[in-house]
Structure 1
Amino acid sequence: MEHTVWSLFPPLLTVALAIVTRRVLLALGAGILSAALLLSGGDVGATLQRVLETFSAVFWTPGEDSAGELNVWSLSVLGFLLLLGILTAFVTLTGGARAFGEWALRRVRSRRAAGALAAVLGVAIFIDDYFNALVVGQVARPVTDRHQISRAKLAYLIDSTAAPVCVVSPISSWGAYIIALIGGVLTAEGLAGSGQGALGTFLQTIPQNFYVWAALGLVAVTVWTGRDFGAMQRYEAEARGELPAGSVTSGAAPGELSAALPVSGSGRTGDLLWPIGVLTLATVGAMFWSGAAAYRAETGQAATLLQMLEYTDVAGSLLWGGVLGVLTALLRWLGHWRRGALAAGSLAQGMLEGLRAMFPAVVVLVLAWMTTDLIGQLGTGDYLAGLVQASLPAAILPALLFSLAAAMAFATGTSWGTFGLLLPITGGLLGTAAPELLITGLAAVLAGSVMGDHCSPISDTTILSSAGAGCHHSDHVVSQLPYALVGGAITLLAYLVAGLSGQFWLGLLTVVLGLAAYSWWVGRAGQPLRG
């Protein structure tokens, strides 16, 4: 069943169940079992064994000549999630979230401004998408809640700014990874000495990454007009109180704290800003430090800024940032306890509540990783990549590569894996047959990977955007999907125009015209701005 059309069944089943039933755990469980069943040839015992091995691999990496070792990367990410839950609880305990909300309410006086705050923060924090998704949610959530913006809308604003900005920023973990891959493509195609280099090639892909500009444009239109369509209309209506609470949302969301948690009456904005600030500075500092140390250990030389990001340990940096952020929050709690504003028992209560609130996100992320692992074993990505035929007209290859990358990222839940598989294929396909379209083709792969990632319920970025916004994962998936599809349709048309004309600026013009048409349509059919 590997590397055949059957390899598409588990991801499609997962996606269909997630959208139809809106029960994410059921959907992921079905995807895991179906993939394991296909890999085991229908043997029930072997299926259960493979499921157990895949679950174990999340926490423990087996070795060929040894007992293996802890999977430090995944454990660090899960640890950061739990630490973020604890930090959120203590920011609430100390009254920092309430004080920041009251402060912002006096300055951010409209729903439009509240949405703009979330979008601007999403663009500004471009170092890493994980970090972006979780931190922006913590800062913006008190403001968007006060202005009755739904958690689904906040998750959309986070998700549709995090990856799109990271994929075009050379000073990010994404940029460093992509530049390294492009360097390999140029070497394989004999272009390494052409003068433009991997960084120069990456910079040329930025204006041709049409989905980035379509996605950011959709965010801008949505924030400015306050008009929505599809499922998002219902979530926004519930947030404004026009529908009964719980009539649309799917229940308790990851990161949602209990109403019984005590709150200090002497909270200040610093009770939120100091922990978040330390978390941010510590994480970014650890990313550069770990990258420099890893590069020096491998080469014996000092690293440049891009080399630091290429070699950085993102997961470990997040963990260190989370530890220092929580310690800062605990110090703020200590001050409130000394003043008698909080009881000693609130320390344990806050920790337990933070862990409880974030546990659902941890479970979903673990199951998504298992699904991604099994789909990788089935060779779903390889099967999709094999659908590209060199005999097709070169002019339609950018649009085809965009569609293929989107399908692959959607099915596998990983944009990085799609980059790693399709960028070399694109280099081999266009480097000889149509070198004038090489940059456009590389950009199309990057664009499609992000678009498919936005649509996929098993994408870790999508899951973490839900967690950061405190939104139930299925609510985020069904409400963001229409926006991602609109952006994808505009982008597909743009790559067709760019490929047929040979002028990438005509593709950019197509994006602008597509956004103008969308703005006109949603202005007539969408939901108006209120408040």
Structure 2
Amino acid sequence: MNLKRQKLLAGAGIVLLLTVLSSMTVFAAETEAPLSSMYATAWALVPPIVAIGLALITKEVYSSLLVGIVVGALLGTDFHPVKTVESVFKGGFISVLSDEGNIGIIMFLVILGIMVSMMNKAGGSAAFGKWAGEHIKSRAGAQLATIGLGILIFIDDYFNCLTVGSVMRPVTDKHKISRAKLAYLIDSTAAPICIIAPISSWAAAVAGFVEGEDGLSIFVRAIPYNFYALLTIIMMLGIVYLKMDYGSMKLYEKNAKNGDLFTAGKRANGTEDVKEKPNGRVLDLVFPILALIVCCVTGMLYTGEFFSGAGFVEAFSQSDAPSGLAMGSFFGLVITIVYYLLRRALKFRECMECVPEGFQSMVPAILILTFAWTLKAMTDQLGADVFVATAMESCAEGLMNLLPAIIFLVGCFLAFATGTSWGTFGILIPIVVKVFEQSNPTLMIIAISACMAGAVCGDHCSPISDTTIMASAGAQCDHVSHVATQLPYALTVAAVSFVSYIVAGFTQSAWISLPFGIVLLGVVLLVMKKYQKKQQN
């Protein structure tokens, strides 16, 4: 009865939202031939809102994303039935699955799934879990090790999510840490770490959006003002040291201590555990991971023309991450197969058996990514980026000191709705540069950092974000469970970051605003810890 009531309320809310949006002023786009009369209007944000709302209510992600895609296609074609079908398939699924970058990401996912299956079958994962169990004595130690590894792998968020998950799952499972908590730690050391690492694919993307300026220098100067990323690290450490959880994560962790690592009742990959070799060694996991890291870094440098004379930083700044990761992971797979054959840890037939097993383990992540990419194509078709850019430019004047906080909120909402942080950078950073470059360079740095922080925050929270999807895949956690348990933590950091940007806008000093944010977050966590103790008593 309660579920029916929730669904009815959700339906009524969506209808009300559509009614309100229908009364909004249409922002006309400066384009030659708009695909729809709703192009670059508030209606462009309806498809992701519908998809995200349904996913959180029904706990079913595939159908929710599909409904959002269909709604986007209907709006984008002015409800023309034939054109709607063409938009869903030709302009949607077929288009995103024929994109080189997307195919590169899928290849990387599949190859990593195969390598994980091989590491499990060779006994490497079990051996590493046993070794870690002897050296990591507590749940706090296992979580800190996960955070540390996530910080070390800062080159690319996709690579971070899947690699950290593969390495740390045996350790966190042994210490009865829920898969939802593991997914949160992975997700929180992916994009938030990459966005403050000068040598990363994210730094390269941000630098490319700052036209007419030294992009990398601006990126480095913006790091102290990237409150969401920095405070997310403080948040993780605070939760671990205070031994506290709240929201739905508290239930997941309580159940994990009693042996139920999933709570949702299902694994993310839906496959049985493979039989492992009893004579596995720690090196059977460490060597493939190291080979993968070296090959993927080499692949990214190759696509950035490092071997054609480009400098190391320059090569990263112009690298093609999906292609580099796909090529690098392939050679990493070949090296791993040769290693297992030479060590006689696996026979060639057993290695080949891992190909379909590894592919099958990544099918849910690939499906969700494909749906999410298609939904993004629908919002692009409706001009969501143009609508937000127009709204930002219209409110920029007269709000200079408050603008970093406003930009942070806009970045959060846009990245949450579209599931892309890089797209959010591309929309907001050029506007910020245009507004501030002549009047106040310091405020420009703060506002650019607010763009990055807001984009990462929205990406961190969004169920349709590829990084969030890959964090679920890396932890082998149910995706909706990961989103629901992570949201309270992310929103806590977002609220503190918003207040910190207000302080930064007026003081224009990282020496004041950053310590203020750290202290405020610490106070919030201590108050929540004290409140929990009172409830227990």
Match of 2:96 in 1: 58
**Structure-2 residue corresponding to 1:292:** 305
With over 3 angstroms needed to count, the CA separation of the structure-2 counterparts of 1:233 and 1:41, relative to structure 1, is same
Match of 1:444 in 2: 450
User: Which AA in structure 1 matches 2:95?
Assistant: A
Task: Please give the residue correspondences for 1:504-515 in structure 2 after superposition, counting only pairs within 5 Å.
Answer: 504-515=510-521
Shift of 1:262: 2.1
Task: Give the unaligned 5+ runs of structure 2.
Answer: 1-37
Q: Retained in 2: the 8 A contact 1:274–1:328?
A: no
Shift of 1:172: 0.8
1:177 and 1:469 map into 2 onto residues whose CA distance is 27
Alpha-carbon distance in structure 1 between the residues aligned to 2:239 and 2:267: 26
| Preserved contact between residue 33 and residue 47 of structure 1 (Cα < 8 Å) | yes
**Amino acid across the alignment from 1:252:** R
Matched, 1:269 2:306: no
Change (3 A) 1:139 1:380: same
Deviation string 1:16-75 (CA, Å, 9 cap, x unpaired) is: 111111111111111111101100111222111111111111232xxxxxxxxxx32211
Deviation per residue, 1:429-484 (Å, 9 max, x gap): 22345444111111111111111111111111111111111111111111111111
Quote the residue 1:229 is aligned against: 246
Q: What residue number does 1:172 align with?
A: 200
Give a deviation string over 1:131-163, Cα, whole Å, max 9, x none.
111111111111111111111111111111111
Give the letter aligned to residue 372 of structure 1.
Answer: K
The whole-number CA distance in structure 2 between the counterparts of 1:211 and 1:342 is 45
1:522 corresponds to 2:531: no
Return the offset for 1:290: 2.1
Q: Which residue, 98, 110, 124 being the options, matches 1:96?
A: 124
* Corresponding residue number in structure 1 for 2:375: 371
Structure 1: 5+ residue runs without aligned partners? 61-70, 297-301
SS at match of 1:9: helix
Does the 8 Å CA contact 1:394/1:433 hold for their aligned counterparts? no
Counterpart in 2 of 1:199? 216
Distance 2:374 2:222 in 1: 32
State the identity as a percent. Answer: 37
**1:30 paired residue among 67, 75, 86:** 67
| Residue number in structure 2 paired with 1:108 | 136
The residue number in structure 1 matching 2:56 is 19
For residues 378 and 265 of structure 2, the distance between their equivalents in structure 1, rounded to whole angstroms, comes to: 28
Deviation at 1:333, TM superposition (A): 4.3
Counterpart CA distance in 1 for 2:159 and 2:261 is 30
Over the aligned positions, Cα root-mean-square deviation in angstroms equals 2.0
How has the CA–CA distance of structure 1 residues 390 and 515 changed in structure 2, closer, same or farther, with 3 Å as cutoff? closer
Shift of 1:428: 1.4
Match of 1:217 among 227, 234, 254: 234
Alignment correspondent of 1:278: 291
Displacement of 1:499 in angstroms is 1.2
Equivalent residues of 1:419, 1:449 under 8 A apart: yes
Deviation at 1:343, TM superposition (A): 7.4
Instruction: Report the TM-score when normalising by structure 1.
Output: 0.89
Q: Contact (CA 8 Å) 1:381, 1:412: kept in 2 or not?
A: no
Structure 1 equivalent of residue 24 of structure 2 = none
Map of 1:5-404 to 2, 5 A cutoff? 5-53=42-90, 54-60=92-98, 71-182=99-210, 184=211, 187=212, 192=213, 197-241=214-258, 248-249=263-264, 251-254=266-269, 257-259=271-273, 261-292=274-305, 296=308, 302-334=309-341, 346-388=350-392, 389-404=395-410
Deviation at 1:287? 1.2
Q: Is the 8 A contact 2:206 2:215 kept in 1?
A: no
Q: Residues 252 and 261 of structure 2 are in contact (CA less than 8 Å); yes or no, is this contact kept in structure 1?
A: no
**Does the 8 Å CA contact 1:155/1:468 hold for their aligned counterparts?**
yes
1:468-483 → structure 2 map (5 Å cutoff): 468-483=474-489
CA deviation vs aligned residue, 1:67-104 (integer Å, no higher than 9, x gap): xxxx3221111011111111111111111110110010
Deviation at 1:271, TM superposition (A): 1.2
Q: How many residue pairs end up in the alignment?
A: 494
Quote the Cα distance in structure 2 between the aligned partners of 1:57 and 1:245: 38
TM-score by length of 2: 0.88
TM-aligned CA distance change 1:332 to 1:198, over 3 Å: closer
Q: Helix, strand or coil: the match of 1:395?
A: coil
Mapped to 2, the partners of 1:343 and 1:167 lie a distance apart of: 41
Alpha-carbon distance, 1:332 to partner: 4.7
Q: What secondary structure, in the 3-state scheme, does the structure 2 residue paired with 1:387 have? A: helix
Secondary structure in 1 matching 2:304: helix
Deviation at 1:345, TM superposition (A): 5.8
